[in-house]
Amino acid sequence: MRAIVVLGVLLLALAVAGCGSSSESDSPASSPDAGSAAAVSLPDGWAMDAAISAEEVGAITGKTMEAFPEASSAAQSGKPAGSFTAAGIDDSKVFFGVDVQGGEALFEDTKTYAEPGSIQDVGDVGDKAYVLTFTDGRAGIVALKGDAVVRVDWNSAVYPEDPTDFGARLANALLGNMF
User: Do the domain assignments include residue 47?
Assistant: yes
Question: Binning pLDDT at 50, 70 and 90, where does residue 34 land?
Answer: very low
Distance separating alpha carbons of residues 57 and 48, to the nearest angstrom? 12
User: Do the domain assignments include residue 60?
Assistant: yes
User: Do the domain assignments include residue 70?
Assistant: yes
- Give the pTM: 0.79
pLDDT value of position 14: 32
Number of domains present in the structure of the chain: 1
Average pLDDT score over residue span 129-154: 98
Range of the domain at 72: 42-178
User: Do the domain assignments include residue 54?
Assistant: yes
User: Do the domain assignments include residue 26?
Assistant: no
Q: What is the pLDDT of residues 78-124, one digit of tens each?
A: 999 999 999 999 999 999 999 999 999 999 999 999 999 999 999 99
CATH code of residue 158: 3.40.1000
- Please provide the DSSP assignment of 63-125 as one string: S-EEEE--TT-BGGGTB-EEEEEETT-TT--EEEEEETT-HHHHHHHGGGGBPTT--EEESSS
User: Do the domain assignments include residue 23?
Assistant: no
Beta carbons within 8 Å of 154's beta carbon, 6+ residues apart: 93, 94, 95, 138, 139, 140, 166, 170
Question: Binning pLDDT at 50, 70 and 90, where does residue 149 land?
Answer: very high
